[in-house]
Amino acid sequence: MRSILILLVFVLNFQLYSQTQTVDSKVVSAIVYNSGAQVTSEKKISLNQGLHTLVFDNLSPNIDESSIIVTGLENINLNFIAFETDFLNKKESSIALDKLKNQLKDFEKKKVYTGNKIKSLEKSIALLENNQSLDGGENELNVEKIKAYKDYYSSQIESISNSIYDQQLLLKAHNEDILKLTNEIKKLESKNRINRGKIRVELEVENSGNRTLSLSYFIFDAGWYAAYDLKTEDSDENITLTYKAKVYQSSGEDWENINLKLSTAKPNSNTVKPELEPYYLDYNSPVQQKRQSYRYQNLRYNPSVKSVLGKVFDQQGLPLPGVNVLIGNKGTQTDFDGNYSIDVGNSQTITYSYLGFESVSIPVYNSNININLETDSASLDEVVIMGYGNARKKKSAGDIQEVAQAIQQQTSVEFQLPQPISLVSSFDDKQFQLNEHELETTYEYYSAPELSSSVFLIAQLKDWQDLDLIEGTANLYFANSYLGTTSLNLGFLEDNLSISLGADEKIVLERTLPRKKTSQTFFGNTRIIDKAYEIEVKNTKNSVVDILIQERVPISRDESIEVEDVNYSKAEYDSKTGYITWKVQLQPNEKTTLSYSYTLKYPKNRVLNLRP
């Protein structure tokens, strides 16, 4: 009897203190943000009374430990919870990777050997060509001997040239194999992460029974960004806007048939309000100010982005031309309107630099990045990423196929996808349609002759503020033709959203500077320049067109420079900006000529750079 009691106590102690179990949970839902995702996984499990240590393994190694939440704990006490990285999976997950990497080394070795072979053959040809000169010396050259020399060198050079061609084809094949293997390695590295995460929880179960435990946590290796299609058949029809989302996740775990929401919120943004401190001035005392980069401090690299386009503005919202944009060893500059476009390659950071402004480096988090640069000043050193604007009530989508439902939150919008979604772990994104809207559209033509002789068709989209849009790239389609891409800049809220549909070659424009109306004279120490311009516009279309044409008169920022006698015909002139604006309506095949002029006066011993 005593032995039975001892055995019973041993069994009870074993149940109380040694019940450790590995749990393989399944992802059932996720809320994906522009950078990061809140993932929820579930596991049905039978738990006896007593202490249990559950280990949820094979998770993303990039989990925010402070975000972990466990639910389904009725009559269960949670003693502790901890996240750790499991390095023991390294060998298991690297077997396939090692095989591919060894193959990659073999092909790289073959590539080097093939390259060396080509160099050797090229030197052989050079050697033959350098020794083709016929020197009779003591031996008399006859026709047969010359013919023999010719046949020999011709045969050798032809044979070697063919060998070089074969080796070049082989080299091309090696490069293709290397590229394929590199892509496969990247995909496998994403799906089978070398390091895996695991969450360990200790539970004290009061009553035995079946439970459904839910585990929620935030991961950094997921995200989404917006993309659009803008389509119209003709310039008298409304534009159809298709709102799409490009979603990626590289957590190392495939998501199969999950409930997916997309959110415009920023879950990890700084929620602490800034404190404004007194601003004291004193000689020889540098200004000290807390640098706060609230708007971009939690941005994460998005591996699915292949190229970036956008606009660069100053702090007043004016476009900055000539800003240097750098990704890795690739660079470009913004154009006159602040636009830029650049390929990403393998780099993860994009840098903006401009004389007189603070340089900024941020992760490549989106395919569309609009940014404001702050002046390089001790008191103005904050750089702000273009925001998404306030969310608004969603406009009805009309009679369309089943689309995502927009759920209005306090400061953001969530899109609930209507069907269960599967998303494999990959650096590539997957595209989903969120909504489709037909927008009331008006059209007008626009031209800035000083910058371009082209006349552009501009679509003005109304009531766009009600569609819960965020910044992104848009594919343009007109009359069943693809026109290219543009950037939707939503940082500045306006009544209409302007979209350029490209130049219309059937409207011909020419800007000239008539010599007889332009002159340069001197009066004492003053140089006087008279400038006059003519703009001829012709409509070769078979329909009436309305065109907005803008030119600019220079504005003086120096008292010694005077701009006088501004003359213009049938136009509006803004003396603050120097803009001259014509609103012209042309009938089919109608032509008109516009003109304006002004006079410049400045000291003749000074050099003033003037535009043509």
The yes-or-no verdict on residue 282 having pLDDT over 60 is no
Do 435 and 398 lie in one domain? The reply is: yes
Confidence band, pLDDT 50/70/90 cuts, at residue 468: confident
Do 431 and 354 lie in one domain? The reply is: no
34-48, 126-140, 271-285, 367-381: which range is least confident on average?
A: 271-285
Most confident of 207-216, 279-288, 516-525: 207-216
What's the pLDDT at 586?
93
Confidence band, pLDDT 50/70/90 cuts, at residue 95: low
Do 396 and 498 lie in one domain? The reply is: yes
What's the pLDDT at 18?
47
Dihedrals phi, psi of 110, to nearest 5 degrees: -60, -35
58-62, 123-127, 324-328: which range is least confident on average?
A: 123-127
Do 208 and 123 lie in one domain? The reply is: no
Mean pLDDT of the chain: 79
Is residue 499, in this structure, part of any structural domain at all?
yes
What is the three-state SS of 80-132? Answer: EEEEEEEHHHHHHHHHHHHHHHHHHHHHHHHHHHHHHHHHHHHHHHHHHHHCC
Q: Which residues, 6+ apart, have CB-to-CB distance to 231 below 8 Å?
A: 239, 240, 242, 477, 478
What's the pLDDT at 591?
94
What's the pLDDT at 447?
93
* pLDDT tens, residue by residue, 348-399: 889 998 888 888 888 888 888 888 888 875 433 333 333 333 333 333 333 3
The yes-or-no verdict on residue 29 having pLDDT over 90 is yes
Q: 181 or 596, which is more confident?
A: 596
Burial class (CB in 10 A: 0-12, 13-18, 19+), 137: exposed
Q: 487 or 491, which is more confident?
A: 487
What's the pLDDT at 403?
58
**Last residue of one domain, picked from the residues 385, 415, 438:** 385
CA angle 373–375–381, rounded 5-degree value: 85
CB 470 within 8 A of CB 262: no
Do 202 and 85 lie in one domain? The reply is: yes
Is residue 114, in this structure, part of any structural domain at all?
yes
With H, G, I as helix, E, B as strand and everything else as coil, classify residue 48: coil
The yes-or-no verdict on residue 125 having pLDDT over 50 is yes
d(CA 26, CA 256): 9
d(CA 310, CA 298): 20
Question: In total, how many domains does the chain have?
Answer: 5
**CA nearest neighbour of 541 among 507, 592, 496:** 507
Is residue 487, in this structure, part of any structural domain at all?
yes
The yes-or-no verdict on residue 492 having pLDDT over 50 is yes
CB 305 within 8 A of CB 246: no
Do 347 and 411 lie in one domain? The reply is: no
What's the pLDDT at 89?
52
Is residue 209, in this structure, part of any structural domain at all?
yes
What's the pLDDT at 446?
93
The DSSP secondary-structure symbol of 517 reads G
83-97, 278-292, 502-516: which range is least confident on average?
A: 278-292
Roughly what angle, to the nearest 10 degrees, separates helices 90-130 and 143-191? 160
d(CA 147, CA 278): 97
Q: Which residues, 6+ apart, have CB-to-CB distance to 412 below 8 Å?
A: 263, 264, 265, 266, 391
What's the pLDDT at 236?
83
The yes-or-no verdict on residue 493 having pLDDT over 70 is no
Q: What is the CATH number of the domain that holds 366?
A: 2.60.40.1120
Partners of 153 in the beta sheet? none
Which whole number is the average pLDDT over 260-267? 86
* pLDDT tens, residue by residue, 416-452: 998 999 998 887 889 999 989 999 998 999 999 988 8
Do 499 and 398 lie in one domain? The reply is: yes
Most confident of 19-33, 84-98, 126-140: 19-33
**Last residue of one domain, picked from the residues 385, 411, 443:** 385
Do 71 and 204 lie in one domain? The reply is: yes
The yes-or-no verdict on residue 91 having pLDDT over 60 is no
Chain position carrying tokens 């600019």: 552
Do 61 and 205 lie in one domain? The reply is: yes
What's the pLDDT at 86?
72
Most confident of 309-323, 442-456, 486-500: 442-456
CB 432 within 8 A of CB 227: no
CB 216 within 8 A of CB 38: yes
Partners of 38 in the beta sheet? 31, 218
Is residue 278, in this structure, part of any structural domain at all?
no
Q: Please count the other Cβ atoms lying within 10 Å of the Cβ belonging to residue 362.
A: 19
CB 531 within 8 A of CB 551: no
Is residue 541, in this structure, part of any structural domain at all?
yes
User: What percent of the chain lies above the pLDDT cut of 90?
Assistant: 19
Do 330 and 401 lie in one domain? The reply is: no
Q: 52 or 18, which is more confident?
A: 52
Which whole number is the average pLDDT over 15-37? 81
Q: What is the CATH number of the domain that holds 38?
A: 2.60.120
Which whole number is the average pLDDT over 52-81? 88
**CA nearest neighbour of 475 among 345, 264, 309:** 309
Confidence band, pLDDT 50/70/90 cuts, at residue 295: low
Hey, what are 210's tokens?
């079946």
Hey, what are 316's tokens?
């007043």
The yes-or-no verdict on residue 545 having pLDDT over 70 is yes
**Structural domain boundaries, residue 419:** 223-264+391-503
Confidence band, pLDDT 50/70/90 cuts, at residue 137: low
What's the pLDDT at 287?
45
d(CA 313, CA 174): 45
What's the pLDDT at 189?
64
What's the pLDDT at 290?
43
d(CA 533, CA 554): 13
d(CA 568, CA 245): 48
Is residue 471, in this structure, part of any structural domain at all?
yes
d(CA 94, CA 368): 35
| Distance of alpha carbon 267 from the chain centroid | 20
Chain position carrying tokens 């604007």: 389
Do 403 and 478 lie in one domain? The reply is: yes
81-90, 153-162, 432-441: which range is least confident on average?
A: 81-90
**Last residue of one domain, picked from the residues 365, 385, 405:** 385
Do 400 and 346 lie in one domain? The reply is: no
13-27, 480-494, 565-579, 590-604: which range is least confident on average?
A: 13-27
The yes-or-no verdict on residue 535 having pLDDT over 50 is yes
Is residue 312, in this structure, part of any structural domain at all?
yes
What's the pLDDT at 284?
45
